[in-house]
Amino acid sequence: MMSFTHLQSLVLPLDRANVDTDAIIPKQFMKSIRRTGFGDNLFDEWRYLDRGEPGQDAAGRPRQPGFVLNQARYAGAQILLTRENFGCGSSREHAVWALRDFGIRALIAPSFADIFHGNCFKNGLLPIQLGAQTVDQLFQRLQERPGYALAVDLPTQTLRTPDGDCLHFDLDPARKHRLLNGLDDIGLTLQRAERIRAYEKLRRAAEPWLFN
Partner 1 sequence: MQTPTGEALTLFDKLWRSHLVDETSDGEALLYIDRHLVYEVTSPQAFEGLRQAGRRPWRPSTVLAVPDHNVPTVAAHRSHLDQIADPLSRLQVRQLGINCREFGITEFGLNRVEQGIIHVVGPEQGATLPGMTVVAGDSHTSTHGAFGALAFGVGTSDVEHVLATQCLAMRPMQRMLVQIEGELSAGVGPKDLILHVIGRIGTAGATGHAIEFAGSVIRAMSMEGRMTVCNMAIEAGARVGLVAVFDQTVCIDAAEVRPMVTWGTSPEMVVDIDGRVPAPADEADPVKRASLVQALAYMGLEPGTALRGIAVDKVFIGSCTNARIEDLRSAAQVVKGRQVAANVRQALVVPGSGLVKAQAELEGLDRIFLAAGFEWREPGCSMCLGMNDDRLSPGERCASTSNRNFEGRQGPGGRSHLLSPAMAASAAIAGHFTDPF
Which chain residues interact with partner 1 by CB under 8 A? 15-18, 20, 22-23, 26-28, 30-35, 45, 51, 54, 83-85, 88-94, 96, 111, 113-116, 118-119, 122-123, 172-174, 185-186, 188-190, 192-193, 195-196, 199-200, 203, 207, 210, 212
Encoded amino acid at 59, one letter: A
Q: How far is the CB of 151 from partner 1 (least distance, A)?
A: 26
Give the DSSP per-residue string, 13-57.
EE--SS-BHHHHS-GGGGG-SSSS--GGGTTHHHHBSS---TT--
Q: In whole angstroms, how close is the CB of 166 to partner 1 at the nearest point?
A: 25
Question: What pairing do the DSSP bridges indicate for beta strands 79-82 and 126-129?
Answer: unpaired
Give min distance, CB of 186 to partner 1, in A: 5
- Structural element, H or E, at residue 163: none
The nearest distance, CB 119 to partner 1, in angstroms, is 4
Select 116 or 148, whichever has its Cβ closest to partner 1.
116
Compare residues 92 and 105 and give the one whose CB is closer to partner 1: 92
CB of 209 to partner 1, least distance (A): 8
Task: Report phi then psi at 136, rounded to 5.
Answer: -60, -45
**Cβ proximity to partner 1, 31 vs 168, nearer residue:** 31
CA–CA dist 113, 87 (Å, integer): 5
CB of 27 to partner 1, least distance (A): 5
| Closest CB to partner 1 among residues 7, 115 | 115
Distance separating alpha carbons of residues 59 and 63, to the nearest angstrom: 10
d(CA 112, CA 148): 23
Beta carbon nearer to partner 1, 6 or 27? 27
Reference 130, options 167, 177, 164; nearest CA is 167
**Quick check: helix, strand or coil at residue 8?**
strand
Pick between residue 40 and residue 93 the one whose CB is nearest to partner 1: 93
